[in-house]
Amino acid sequence: MLKALAHVCFRVQDLDASIEFYVDKLGLRHAFDFINDQGERFGVYLHVGGRNFVELFKAQPGEPPKPGSWQHFCIEVDDIPATAEALRAKGVEVTDPYLGADGSWQVWLADPDGNRIELHGYTPESRQAPFVE
């Protein structure tokens, strides 16, 4: 039986720049590294919160992006305006907060590879409210 979304995974061009973005700017916590037989880091697991993670793997030089249909991933935050301001203070471009069609607050940003990230804040009127614990 399905339990929860465990992680999302991205292949990134510059692993160090992506780690800096997700850890130093977005505030995720470093969980562990993937190390190859030569002792080189080729991936990382980052803790979002609870049982949720972001997994990053370094793309090989010249490796073209893999085709896919994903559009973005979303992280729930406790205070959309304060989070947006804190990210702007760290040099991250963030949209202005707005109430989405689902009744939840949201802002948008992108990581160094252009992967779109939605930050989400539920309200009592959110359409998701009957389903969230």
Structural domain that includes position 110: 71-133
| C-alpha–C-alpha distance, residues 132 and 27, integer Å | 23
Percent of the chain with pLDDT over 70: 95
Q: Are residues 87 and 122 in the same domain?
A: yes
Mean pLDDT, range 11-16, rounded to an integer: 92
**Quick one: which H or E segment has residue 15?**
helix 15-19
Strand pairing class (116-121; 7-12): unpaired
At 109, the amino acid letter reads: L
In this prediction, residue 69 carries a pLDDT of 65
Indicate whether 56 belongs to any domain.
yes
Say if residue 93's pLDDT is above 70.
Answer: yes
Q: Are residues 52 and 79 in the same domain?
A: no
Three-state SS for 83?
helix
Q: Are residues 43 and 84 in the same domain?
A: no
Band of pLDDT at residue 1, cut at 50, 70 and 90: low
Q: What is the number of domains present in the chain?
A: 2
For 107, the token pair is 């802002």
Indicate whether 65 belongs to any domain.
no
Say if residue 2's pLDDT is above 80.
Answer: no
* Closest to 73 in 3D by CA, of 113, 42, 101, 39: 113
